[in-house]
Chains A and B, each alone.
Chain A
């Protein structure tokens, strides 16, 4: 399966994403510079973390207009699996490929720490190998990660099962103490209605080996291999 890592000026998690796929998954992966527009050689896209365009105006706001984003939107429309991590999640919401927005953390502080994220839904290409309710240990590193959507959108997300990851305690119970940024409904990650586009604030690509603290991220990244096979077989 061929992975692309979409890279903007100011991305800084691109090499983490590349390494996690090369070393963790042993799959072919290429960085794709924001000026490129041909994504036809790829089976799935990763949008990495960082501070694209310095996070000026709003995180992800300017990356959204990069030339590559038209092709990313087209890839999404065709049902291709896309995973946005941290800044990648912010870019996807700004681009309207995922609902809602990411606001400055409730604490107003940058949070760099390990968190627990409960997998709410295994029916996305990025979670299909994980049992519902599994608690993953993943790192976060962000200043603008407070997920927000208006009440109507939130109700729809919950009703459609579009909340894919939620912040919990280590046992998988919701607790405001374990919500690192004040996200509404403790939302750490969501998917679009078609379920092929997933965004989350934690970094699965920075947890691909126990040596660096956790390999729980591999459960997310390797899921797509199975999803891809299922698509090919179907």
Chain B
């Protein structure tokens, strides 16, 4: 299956990771850590929980797609007061999900 449509645009998949800033207390992470300790995994020193969001976007080139996804993260996907984000971008061969 081709990743390009007739007009030359490519479909990209962005894997976005949103996590709390290191200074923000993460009670969910603490609860997971305690659960792991209860299972005997005492080597676990710290756990931070976050969100994983996948986007399928169309764009002419990776630079444009990257710029657009950055804007999406800044405006909606992450709250800069409490969160930070990073993402990877790859041409989507599988053409998954509408």
Contact = CB atoms under 8 A, between A and B. Distances in A.
Contacts of A150: 23, 81
Contact of B82 (A62, A65, A101): A101
B63 interface: no
B81 A149 contact: yes
B31 A103 contact: no
B27 A148 contact: no
B95 interface: no
B82 to A, nearest CB: 5
Interface residues of A, number: 20
A104 B79 CA distance: 14
Nearest to A108: B27
Contacts of B76: 57, 61-62, 65
Contacts, number: 35
Contact of A107 (B27, B77, B81, B82): B27
A94 interface: yes
B76 to A, nearest CB: 7
Looking at chain B's contact residues, the main secondary structure is loop
A231 to B, nearest CB: 31
Given A57-B76, A61-B76, A65-B76, A101 B27 contact: no
Contacts of B77: 57
B24 interface: yes
Interface in B45-98: 76-77, 79, 81-82
A89 B47 CA distance: 29
Given A101-B82, A103-B82, A108 B28 contact: yes
A106 B81 contact: no
A58 B27 contact: no
Interface in A79-115: 93-94, 99-101, 103-108
B79 A148 contact: no
B79 A61 contact: yes
A58 B80 CA distance: 12
A93 B79 CA distance: 10
Contact of B31 (A65, A99, A108, A148): A108
B26 to A, nearest CB: 9
B82 A148 contact: yes
Contacts of A99: 81
A104 B27 CA distance: 8
Nearest to B51: A57
B3 interface: no
Interface in B1-49: 23-25, 27-28, 31
Interface of A: 57-58, 61-62, 65, 93-94, 99-101, 103-108, 148-150, 182
Interface of B: 23-25, 27-28, 31, 76-77, 79, 81-82
